[in-house]
Amino acid sequence: MDKPDINTVRDQKNKLRSRILSLRRSITFDNKQRFDRQITEMVTQLSIIKKSSVIAAYISLDDEVSTESIRGYILSQGKKLVIPKVVSGNLEFFIITSDNDLERGVFGLLEPKQTCQLTDHKEIDCFIVPGIAFDRHGNRLGWGKGYYDRALLHIKSQKIAIAYDCQIVNDVPHTDSDIVMNALITQSGLLMV
């Protein structure tokens, strides 16, 4: 079987990214809040979340599935919560104990403060991963910078994607370097494991 042309895949990804971002941004405030509650409930009931002691989550953008309640749950259960931050072009993960350990970074996004402790990727039991589009095979489309793909390349820990139904497509264009998710949760439920 021929390998896909990297430029063709890049073009397909860019078109899909634009289309899905537009759909995601069109979700009404009330629907977003309802969907976020439904997704949070499902995430916190996952057995992998319950048995993990170190969990990586992310700080959500305004139009992403909110991770605020998920992060609160992780901390309330006495688990270690780690949050990513781009350092020298790579994604590094830092332990936080509350949102007080976050500050505005270079792009105005919340990220762990300099005083937070760096943790090794291999110590993380489970990753909650953001993305723009997903398919039912676990393929993920991110922002195109490859931060998560590089960070998770050699990680065997569970990778859980959370998204809205409008972010699910039949097929995400992908290459061998794209990391596949182990589970995908939307407001409709657990779509794949």
Q: What is the three-class DSSP state of 58? A: coil
Could you tell me the residue ranges of all domains in the chain?
6-192
pLDDT at 163: 97
58-75 average pLDDT score = 96
131, 86, 91: which is closest to 107 by C-alpha?
A: 86
CA-based end-to-end distance of the chain: 26
Q: What is the pLDDT, as a whole number, of residue 4?
A: 59
The whole-number pLDDT of residue 154 equals 83
Banded pLDDT at 189 (limits 50, 70, 90): very high
Mind listing the pLDDT tens digit for each residue in 125-165?
Answer: 999 999 999 999 999 999 888 889 889 888 889 999 999 99
Report yes or no: 139 and 178 within 8 Å, Cβ to Cβ: yes
Does residue 18 register a pLDDT over 80? yes
> What pLDDT score was predicted for residue 133?
96
Q: Please, where are the H alpha helices in the chain?
A: 6-25, 29-45, 47-51, 68-76, 147-151
If you ran DSSP here, which 8-state letter would residue 104 be given? E
Span 69-118, pLDDT tens digits? 999 999 999 999 999 999 998 899 999 999 999 999 877 889 999 999 99
Domain 6-192: give its CATH superfamily: NagB/RpiA/CoA transferase-like (3.40.50.10420)
Q: What angle do CA 140, 62, 40 make, to 5 degrees?
A: 65
Q: Characterize the bridge pairing of strands 126-129 and 117-119.
A: unpaired
Q: Is the pLDDT of residue 19 over 80?
A: yes
pTM comes to: 0.91
Mean pLDDT, the chain, integer: 92
Helix (H) or strand (E) holding 95: strand 90-96
Q: 3-class SS at 113?
A: coil
Residue 191 has pLDDT above 70, yes or no: yes
State yes or no: pLDDT of 1 exceeds 50: no
